[in-house]
């Protein structure tokens, strides 16, 4: 079995990032930003995503293209725009972009939803979890979430900056098992193909697998300046560095190859794979355990302890005996068993006031009491580390 086939075995949820250059009306000699949105390519990706959805995968799409589409509509001809001009383009282009996706997916019988994020949303635990719950609810309903940065209102300090980085964050947020970055180049080359010196005899080689993003890799990536995209290759490599530390494999492939998604899911060797092996898979849990400071404690009964420790279940209100501390939604908490022994840590879906009200209650009663603030789990097992 090849590494890629091995990775595919574990994939249930995939984040696909579509760059502006792969959904633009490309014209020779012009930057994609000047070319406007290509409905054909939007339709093409809707088809591809429908195909992989039919094979049972959850798909979250991160799509650029708002500024490009808005530029076309506002008929800006100059390449360099001021920030307010770019934001105006994003405001116009985002709805235009979504309309194109909506039409294309509708034809395939799929509904789409727009989610616009900024760094502020993802840096704050509460909003981070909110975003996650929303996307999770959409996936459960069979909807394709389409995410972009909230460019039109985002100022520099809270900008994520580029959609490569956004896609990596979304892959970690949603616990995806694969991130695919669709670019207009085949992957990472050992030297910049566009700068190939005529006298050089050694052929430029595509790197098929990067197992560690070190200075050498960053240097190679930093050299390839792709004018058409916001970040070029270096932001893809940085994105991959992040996903790798969370144990998520990342593929950087050429989205202009119409067969590329099909080939990926057939286990074929396309693009550059960034993957350092499964052992990092627990990093998120590592972060919950070691980085976050617990803001309170929950004492759970024996039934809940067994469900958590022996059956890998989530913590429900019914198993709660005691709530200690003054904490908010999204905080890290310590879990104690009835004898006061620490059994785990996790991120909580309720604040301490609400937990005080619902502790020991069964799910239907909690649902009717909490109404729109209802979550089935006090701590979801994905946000839980059991010792």
CB of residue 102 vs ligand GLU: minimum separation in angstroms?
Answer: 16
Q: Which is nearer to ligand GLU, 20 or 169 (CB)?
A: 20
- With tokens 């991959």, the residue in question is 240
Tokens describing residue 372 = 């729109």
CB of residue 67 vs ligand GLU: minimum separation in angstroms?
Answer: 3
User: Which member of 49, 59, 60, 66 binds ligand GLU (CB under 6 A)?
Assistant: 66
Q: In the 3-class helix/strand/coil scheme, how is 159-206 assigned residue by residue?
A: CCCCHHHHHHHHHHHCCCCEEEEEECCCCCECCCHHHCCCCCCCCCCE
**Cα end-to-end span (Å), the chain:** 33
230 lies in the binding site for ligand GLU (CB under 6 A):
yes
337 lies in the binding site for ligand GLU (CB under 6 A):
no
Q: Which is nearer to ligand GLU, 66 or 343 (CB)?
A: 66
| Interaction mask 126-155, ligand GLU, x per CB under 6 A | ----------------------xx-x----
Site for ligand GLU in 3-62 (CB under 6 A): 19-20
Q: Which is nearer to ligand GLU, 207 or 230 (CB)?
A: 230
- With tokens 């091995």, the residue in question is 6
CB of residue 380 vs ligand GLU: minimum separation in angstroms?
Answer: 29
Q: Which is nearer to ligand GLU, 7 or 100 (CB)?
A: 100
Site for ligand GLU in 83-112 (CB under 6 A): 90
Q: Which is nearer to ligand GLU, 238 or 274 (CB)?
A: 238
Phi-psi label, residue 327: left if phi above 0, alpha if psi -120 to 50, beta otherwise: beta
CB of residue 70 vs ligand GLU: minimum separation in angstroms?
Answer: 8
CB of residue 329 vs ligand GLU: minimum separation in angstroms?
Answer: 28
| Interaction mask 288-327, ligand GLU, x per CB under 6 A | ----------------------------------------
162 lies in the binding site for ligand GLU (CB under 6 A):
yes
CB of residue 113 vs ligand GLU: minimum separation in angstroms?
Answer: 16
User: Which member of 22, 62, 65, 131 binds ligand GLU (CB under 6 A)?
Assistant: 65
Instruction: Give the CB-side neighbour count of residue 254, counting CA atoms within 13 A.
Output: 15
Q: Which is nearer to ligand GLU, 114 or 263 (CB)?
A: 114
Q: Which is nearer to ligand GLU, 152 or 331 (CB)?
A: 152
Q: Which is nearer to ligand GLU, 161 or 267 (CB)?
A: 161
- Interacting residue ranges for ligand GLU, rule: CB under 6 A: 19-20, 64-68, 90, 148-149, 151, 162-163, 230-231
């Amino acid at each position: 079995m090849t590494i890629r086939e091995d990775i595919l075995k574990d994939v249930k949820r995939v984040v696909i990032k579509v760059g502006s250059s792969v959904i633009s009306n490309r014209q020779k000699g012009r930057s994609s930003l000047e070319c406007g949105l290509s409905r054909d390519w939007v339709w093409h990706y809707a088809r591809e995503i429908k195909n992989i959805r039919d094979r049972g995968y959850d798909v979250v799409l991160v799509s650029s293209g708002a500024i490009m589409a808005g530029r076309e509509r506002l008929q800006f001809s100059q390449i360099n725009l001021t920030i307010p001009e770019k934001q105006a383009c994003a405001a116009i282009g985002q709805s235009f972009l979504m309309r194109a996706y909506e039409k294309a997916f509708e034809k395939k019988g799929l509904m789409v939803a727009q989610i616009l994020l900024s760094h502020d949303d993802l840096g704050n635990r509460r909003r981070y979890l909110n975003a996650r719950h929303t996307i999770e609810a959409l996936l459960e309903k069979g909807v394709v979430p389409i995410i972009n940065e909230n460019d039109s209102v985002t100022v520099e300090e809270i900008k994520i900056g580029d959609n490569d980085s956004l896609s990596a964050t979304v892959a970690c947020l949603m616990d995806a098992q694969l991130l695919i970055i669709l670019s207009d180049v085949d992957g990472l080359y050992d030297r910049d193909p566009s700068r190939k010196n005529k006298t050089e005899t050694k052929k430029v080689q595509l790197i098929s697998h990067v197992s560690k993003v070190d200075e050498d890799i960053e240097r190679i990536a930093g050299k390839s300046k792709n004018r058409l995209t916001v970040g070029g290759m270096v932001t893809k490599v940085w994105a991959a560095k992040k996903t790798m530390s969370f144990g998520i494999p990342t593929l950087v492939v050429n989205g202009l190859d119409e067969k590329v998604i099909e080939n990926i899911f057939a286990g074929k060797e396309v693009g550059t794979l960034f993957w350092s092996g499964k052992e990092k898979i627990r990093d998120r849990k590592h972060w919950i355990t070691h980085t976050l400071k617990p803001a309170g404690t929950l004492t759970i009964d024996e039934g809940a302890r067994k469900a958590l420790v022996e059956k890998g279940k989530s913590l429900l209100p019914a198993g709660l005996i005691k709530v200690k501390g003054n904490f908010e939604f999204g905080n890290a908490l310590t879990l104690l068993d009835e004898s006061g022994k620490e059994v785990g840590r996790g991120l909580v879906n309720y604040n301490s006031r609400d937990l005080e009200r619902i502790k020991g209650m069964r799910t239907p009663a909690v649902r009717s009491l909490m109404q729109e603030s209802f979550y089935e789990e006090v701590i979801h097992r994905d946000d839980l580390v059991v010792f």
